[in-house]
A = this chain, B = another copy of it.
Amino acid sequence: MKIEILSTGDEVLTGSVVDSNAAWIAEKLLDKTSGKILRHTCVGDDINHIADAVKEISTRSDIAIVTRGLGPTADDITAEGIAIAAGTNLVKNEDALKSIKDFFSSRNFPMPDANSKQAMLPSNAVCLYNSVGTAPGFFIKINRTVFFCLPGVPSEMKKMLSDLVIAEITNMFGDKKNVNVLKTLSLFGLPEALVNEKLIGFENRFRDIKLGLCAKFPHIEIKLYSQIHHKTEKENFFSDACTWIKNKLGKWIYSDTGESMEECVGNLLKKENATLAVAESCTGGLIAHSLTNVAGSSQYFLFSGVTYSNQSKIDLLGVLPSTIKKYGAVHEKTVKEMAAGAQKIANSTYALATSGIAGPVGKSTDKPVGTICIGIATQKKVDSYQFCFSFNDRRMNKEIFAIKALDILRKKLLCV
């Protein structure tokens, strides 16, 4: 089963919006159907360009997911473009009208006149009900291809694809075909080339599994992909391959379930009933922000002191003025005092501290941009580390500094 993805609209075409819908749809369909993705296309708000793209797809693929351009305004013309390609007209679709009316009445609003335009669908299209927005979707067969048209708002598109489209596809194509299986292992701390080298031999050993490396700065994902015949095999299909990879890459792999570094650290802290305080200089709040992106993090995360100025390191964390004077803010001795200070203030089990040079300014001859000192306080002692990364980009440096600090804590927690 061949699948294509079509985005319509000037926002994506001109680069005002990054087309992250396409990536989400591709991953979802690979996971939930037996299809292969053939192509993504994006065209602008031009009725003929949409019709041309639809006609081309209708000669190549079995399924197409079309997003955007189902809104109530004049430049929302996806339904019209599809109708031209299908050689039909737009007609009022009663199911679509009901979807729109239901949406407004569930929110106690009268339906504005403008929205009735969204009930005009190609004459032989089947409506896809939208319970979370005003734009009903629809599907229609043109030549060999079934086109599923969905709104561009990510939350609406995702719900309709998950709840309705997958079921339609399974219904149309499901029984005859294989099942895709996917697995992702997440790794931090080794360069891609070295990971590649360590995995030499995988393809000979596991001939029915396709292995891919994907650098998603600051971490790397190892993707395993295969097609199998029976859904029942799905659960444990990759277990031997995972064991093989983990033997090669050991503790560099922090997750085989898709959890992020901060989720992983959080779970380890919870397991130990431990708490964490942080003192951040160069990471500027990013460690705290990452940790608190995880729902329930208040269970273990107590406090971060983003002590950007030297004075606040002294006043808040109790770093000795003489330490900063003698060694500077970016020094292992300073981050040790920062970590110890944060641990003491918050009365936490662990504390992490960072001080470094994210750039572009602040470097010195012995401390180039990319230098990071990390302090870690456990119940037994306070350790420190110094590294230097070569990205020469402020945001990348902040990201790699933050994940490096969390990874150091993760490795300590694994040894408890």
Is A312 an interface position by the 8 A CB rule?
yes
| Bound form: Cα–Cα A27–B12 in Å | 10
- Nearest-CB distance from A190 to chain B (Å)? 17
A346 surroundings in chain B (CB, below 8 A): 309, 311-312, 315
Q: What is the oligomeric copy number?
A: 2
- Which of A91-99, A238-246, A279-287 contacts the other chain? A279-287
| Bound form: Cα–Cα A13–B2 in Å | 13
Which interface class (under 10, 10 to 19, 20 to 34, 35 or more) fits A?
A: 35 or more
Is A288 an interface position by the 8 A CB rule?
yes
Is A383 an interface position by the 8 A CB rule?
no
Within 288-311 of A, Cβ neighbours of B (below 8 Å) are at 288-289, 291-293, 295-298, 301-309, 311
Q: Using A285-B291, A303-B312 as known contacts, list a sample of 8 further A-B pairs with CB atoms less than 8 Å apart, ordered by residue number in A.
A: A13-B26, A13-B39, A18-B22, A292-B398, A302-B311, A303-B305, A305-B305, A316-B316
**Which 9 residue pairs are nearest across A and B when measured between Cβ atoms?**
A284-B292, A285-B288, A15-B26, A285-B285, A15-B27, A15-B23, A304-B306, A285-B289, A40-B42
Q: List 26 A-B contacts (CB under 8 A).
A: A11-B214, A14-B37, A15-B22, A15-B23, A15-B26, A16-B23, A16-B214, A17-B216, A19-B23, A38-B49, A39-B53, A280-B285, A284-B292, A284-B293, A285-B286, A289-B289, A292-B306, A295-B360, A297-B308, A298-B308, A298-B309, A301-B308, A302-B309, A303-B306, A304-B304, A309-B346
